[in-house]
Structure 1
Amino acid sequence: MWFSRRKQPPIRSLVGEGTQVRGELRFCDGLRVDGEIHGDVVAVGDAPSILVVSENARVHGKVKADHVIINGSVTGPVEARELVELQPKARIVGDVRYAALEMHQGAVIDGELRPLKSEERVALKLAASGPG
């Protein structure tokens, strides 16, 4: 998978805290969301992409990128063509499709988890909450 061999794409765009966006948001390379988006957030182009939804961020719409990191709230389907990382404060209401999944203790999904290629063996990684 590209994220284990290649350098992460740069995060070139930011939706800052206190900012509210309405409508579809398309991006290349990387995007960090600290505010609120009412609409789909979709990576475009052939280059690797990364989307970070931070702890206080809210997305109401579809989310799609190669590498998706969520620690905030997403209401809508999530698709990670490579890896989805669900941090401890992640809250998702919608289905999650992924090539590989990393889920930390505390993350909540109200929806279905489905691998993109169900006929192949899918990598799942449980994040340890600490020793013991």
Structure 2
Amino acid sequence: MFGKKKQPPIKSLIAHGTEIHGDVRFADGMRVDGAVHGHLLAHSEAPTLLVISEAAKVVGEVRAGHVIINGEVHGPVCATELLELQPKARIQGDVSYRALEMHQGATIAGQLLPLGEGALDKPTLKLAAIGG
């Protein structure tokens, strides 16, 4: 689906109970279970993966190739490939994406902005089915 490629490995973790104040730049994959008050930015031309778990809270910009959110984000989100919004995702900010998968229960308080040529004509959207 969506021409999914092999995901980059998650090499970085911001654990539950950890709070970071400042920007975080990463390559490959990163998982956030704690709190970040700053930007989370992938700095690689290679494929990148960012997972923001149910327990996580990010106040700042989020930018990576493949972004999976099930927590809280206050700031703009940009997924240059695929944005997956899980049921407990809460976003307050504009969302840019090439492809979007949004589960029932996820909320966005902001604009949806498709990326790429002709994106305003035919954005790739997928509504995830309940239970699968």
TM-score by length of 1: 0.93
User: Take 1:57 and 1:24, find their aligned partners in 2: how far apart are those partners?
Assistant: 16
Structure 1, 111-120 or 4-13: larger mean CA deviation? 111-120
Per-residue CA shift, 1:5-45, capped at 9, x if unaligned? 42100000000000000100000000000000000000011
- Give the match's secondary structure for 1:97: strand
TM-score by length of 2: 0.93
| Equivalent position of 1:27 in the other structure | 26
Which amino acid letter does the alignment assign opposite residue 100 of structure 2?
A: L
User: Take 1:5 and 1:89, find their aligned partners in 2: how far apart are those partners?
Assistant: 23
Which amino acid letter does the alignment assign opposite residue 90 of structure 1?
A: A
Per-residue CA shift, 1:64-101, capped at 9, x if unaligned? 00000000000000000000000000000000000000
- Give the match's secondary structure for 2:3: helix
| Equivalent position of 1:90 in the other structure | 89
Which amino acid letter does the alignment assign opposite residue 24 of structure 1?
A: D
Matched, 1:125 2:119: no
Q: Taking every aligned residue pair, what percent have the same amino acid on both sides?
A: 60
User: Take 1:86 and 1:5, find their aligned partners in 2: how far apart are those partners?
Assistant: 16
1:46 offset after TM fit, Å? 1.3
User: RMSD in angstroms over aligned alpha carbons?
Assistant: 1.6
| Equivalent position of 2:76 in the other structure | 77
Task: Number of aligned residue pairs: give it.
Answer: 130
Which amino acid letter does the alignment assign opposite residue 38 of structure 2?
A: G
User: Take 2:3 and 2:68, find their aligned partners in 1: how far apart are those partners?
Assistant: 15
Distance change (3 Å), C-alpha of 1:129 and 1:119: same
Gaps of 5+ in 1: none
| Equivalent position of 2:64 in the other structure | 65
User: Take 2:131 and 2:13, find their aligned partners in 1: how far apart are those partners?
Assistant: 31
